[in-house]
A and B are shown apart, each in its own frame.
Chain A
Amino acid sequence: MADKRIHIHPVTRVEGHGKVSIDLDEDNNVKQARLHVVEFRGFERFIQGRPYWEVPVLVQRLCGICPVSHHLCAAKAMDGIVGATTLTPTAEKMRRLMHYGQTFQSHALHFFHLSSPDILFGFDADPAIRNVLGVAQEYPELAVQGITMRAYGQEIIRLTAGKKIHGTGAIPGGINKNLSIAERDSLLPDIEQMLEWSRSALQIAKDYTVENLEMLAPFGSFDSNHAGIVDANGGMDLYDGKFRVRDAAGNTLLDQMDPSDYVEHIAEEVRPWSYMKFPFLKAVGPADGWYRVGPLARVNVSDSIDTPEAEAARAEFMSVTDGKPNNISMAYHWTRMIELLHSCEKIKELLNDPDLQGTDLVVKGERREESVAVIEAPRGSLWHHYRVNDRDEVVMANLIVSTTQNNEPMNRAVAKVAQDYISGVPEITEGLLNHVEVAIRAYDPCLSCATHALGQMPLTVELIDAAGNVIETRHKG
């Protein structure tokens, strides 16, 4: 029998377009498994020539999934252009509230509606029930919680960014609105309920991981470096800080790196089979210098979390590995829920802070030509780098998104699961293919930059032989 290739295209319940190809030999052993991402090109060129103050709004066109992260990261970069080294308390806290609102709704959506079907029903369960609608049938309270938490986060975004689409709240040097008393009071009554549901979600994720540790520990797992921004004391800070990288054993490879120095420390490797680049630490090299980003990596590189309940949860999580980095891919779910609780605690803290009603919104300083910013988007570190000429036009833009930094890790996860679950199996079932998707979904990748309009094919699986002939095609949805 000839060699075969399986395509899973696109990856279901993951934003944007991705394709998994699994090459089998004549005995159904996996020869190679890869995740390909169709990346929309040209955005950096699109920004060139635009006035710098438009960029925080323009970058939201890049992605319908995490526009707030791009909005805030661009605003932070433009703070550098206008010389705003320190924002007013009102500006910084409004941005933080927007950011924690984004993280809260994104993590809630991922857990309740993208991952919970796999967790609640099992990776092999009938796909007819293994989806959010199955969750709605069997666990309606959980489904309502997820929807309500998502809506709460979206409302925070609307009130801080000004509107749901193409928000304008963050501007170079600050913000353009504060949070009125009425707006604050519309959010406060529900915060205790959000905290309670966040605790409950964390409990589910923790219990699931601990109770299934034997199966989950090797599932798509591998040793890796971990990266994220931390505050001056090494604590978690999702909005602002310096970059830290630790290796699989916990040794610190890079610490307190100023974002403006990223070009000295991080490079992006191009491989001929992938549109998406592969970032790595220059000092370590492309073979071993790649790293994971996102919730798991952030918890692994943080020495503490500055909210009490999330800090207790972090300490408990780290105790599983005796304080060393946790390299289990499926532990992303547990750490994502630690961040969900952390975000909710921060939202409560901020809503009770009178600085949000301040009126000193914008600062400026000495104009600069170049600026780099990094923010911890829900899926991991997001970098924006701009140069602006003396006519205020952007002449260079470079964006490194979190999913690109997780490119190598996701490919490793796909290869590991394919080897462990598909290699040598006589019949490749939908449930087995879902194992590959489960590993990818743990990273919550945003493969966005594709329009979603009517007529899109949700899922195609193609079996292709060595001669390139499609010998089997499956559609889902």
Chain B
Amino acid sequence: MGVELIAVGAREDVLRKIRTSIGAPAVSSPAIEAEWNALPREYNRVGSLSREAVLEMLDERLRDYDASVIRIQSGAVAETIAKQLTERGKHRLVIPQGLAEALGEALPTGFEFVVDEGLSTTELDSFEGVVTASTVAIAETGTIVLQNVAGEGRRAPTLVPDYHLCIVRASDVVENVPEAMARLAATASLATTFVSGPSATADIEMTRIKGVHGPRFLDVILVT
């Protein structure tokens, strides 16, 4: 195939030009690491709020971006899912593998839950919604982080259907972005999606419109 032949020697040329431009002699990788370690990081890396204040903040900021939030005690997950889906009028939902285990409760009866085992895009488009767990939530920004693990699954199922019901455990809620990145570092190479409210745009006269291509409705169940 010809693609490799289009820019023969480009890699070496670009790297050579960069080295000439930087001008400094090549530095060893430990020296670069030491320099990186010494970069100023005086911003808040650890939060300062109480647990309850952090959960309050997540609740408020999710609502601020048009998500609904239901706060419950553990043990009531299945019944809350049932209540919420009934309220929304959703019956046929796609779920990732290992959702019940991730939630620690069996899913409610009376709904059609289909496990995603590599469903096609068109098949995903036929569902009324998706139910998932989550890896981390960031209070300060009203963000939920999903990764490709059991209970959260592939990225497409949380994207194509129009409704997303997401279950967040209070113990996974952190106050700020640095705390979240620290938790995610170990699994950094997994496909990761940060979701902050439903899909939105402000491209027309800077008016925020809820819902363009991603799910237009996001409900969050926050389990203490």
Answer whether A and B are interacting partners.
Answer: no
B residues lining the A interface (CB < 8 Å):
none
Chain A contacts to B: CB under 8 angstroms: none
